[in-house]
Structure 1
Amino acid sequence: MDEFKFLNPKKMKHPKNGMTLEYLDKQSAIAALIVSVDDKKGYLVKQFRPGLMGESLEVVAGLIDPGEVPIDTLYREVAEEAGYYKEDYDIIYEEKQALAISPGYTAEKLSCYILRLKNDDIKQKELDLDEGEDLTGKWYDLEEALELSCDFKTHFLIRLFQLIQKNR
């Protein structure tokens, strides 16, 4: 089997019953919903995903590099995939701890953020995508995004944002 770049299949013995367990040892990641100043739109990216065998509409996200802390990954990924820099937005929500994606399947954890642009005059800069990364992004009405996306992290962050807005 070819070497995997991002996935590392592993086996271990269950600590109590000795059963063999399989899982993926995978890098953790960040996910960020970027909302407009008026809180009505979110910046989402569309990209091909092999698990769907097609394109997926998602919030900005990316892997945390070895030795990197989640907040630095946030700044890097938002700049790369959305063209916004930390001086362009406020972090209005940050998950207290990284969340397990699928604890029976993978070691990956996700650090979640919600960002709001500081004003309407913020100009999006040129994207700085990683080699081989092929994505496009644009602003979507949040309800429209929920209809168009089947991505869990995207639904989670939009619904969380809506709940925060409702309880403000």
Structure 2
Amino acid sequence: MEEFVFLKPRKMKHPVNGMTLEYLEKQSAIAALLVSNDGKKGYFVEQFRPGIKENSLEVIAGLIDEGEVPEDALYREVREEGGYSREDYDIIYEEKKPLAISPGYTEEKLSLYILKLKDKANQKELKLDEGEDLTGKWFDFDEILEKSQDFKTFYLVKIYKYLGK
């Protein structure tokens, strides 16, 4: 089996019954819903995802690098994938603690944010990582719920609507 870069299969013994459990060691990540300054649209990126073998519309997201805190990853990813600097938006929602994505399957936890652009925010050129192939577009929230099958996107849009911001 070839060596994986982001996923590392692991085994451990169940602490009570001794059964062998399999899981993936994986970096944690951030996800951010970027909301327009009028609160009516969100910025979503489209990129190919191997798990569904097609393009996916999603909120901005990315891995938390070793030694990095979630907020630093947030600022970096929003700049890279959205073209906005931290001075361009306010954090209007932050999940109280990182959430386990699939606790029976992976160690990954996701730090979730909702950001609202300030009135004078100007989008800059994207700074994508090498090999990253994505495009961004603004969508109405109801429209994205119909188009996206991504859980983190669905969750953050529903939280935003629940908050009534």
TM range (shorter): over 0.9
Asked whether 1:25 is paired with 2:25, we answer yes
Summarize deviations over 1:47-97 as a string: whole Å, max 9, x none.
000001000000000000000000000000000000001000000001110
CA distance in 1 between partners of 2:30 and 2:143 (Å): 23
Structure 2 Cα separation of the partners of residues 157 and 15 of structure 1:
34
Q: How does 1:1-168 map to 2 (within 5 A)?
A: 1-119=1-119, 121-165=120-164
Letter of the structure 2 residue corresponding to residue 71 of structure 1 = E
Give, in whole Å, the separation in 2 of the partners of 1:147 and 1:124.
26
SS in 1 for 2:67: coil
Instruction: For structure 2, list consecutive stretches of 5 or more residues without a partner in the other structure.
Output: none
Q: CA RMSD in A?
A: 0.7
Question: What is the alpha-carbon distance in structure 2 between the residues aligned to residue 123 and residue 64 of structure 1?
Answer: 25
Gaps of 5+ in 1: none
Deviations 1:16-66 (A, max 9, x none): 000000000000000000001111100000000000100000000000000
- What is the letter of the counterpart of residue 132 of structure 2? E
Matched residue count: 165
Q: Secondary structure at the match of 1:126?
A: coil
Deviation at 1:122, TM superposition (A): 1.9
Q: Hey, what's the Cα distance between the residues in 2 that align with 1:29 and 1:71?
A: 10
SS in 2 for 1:24: strand
Task: Report SS of the residue matched to 2:113.
Answer: strand
Q: Secondary structure at the match of 1:123?
A: coil
1:158 Cα offset (Å): 0.1
Q: TM-score scaled by structure 2? A: 0.99
| Percent of aligned pairs sharing the same letter | 70
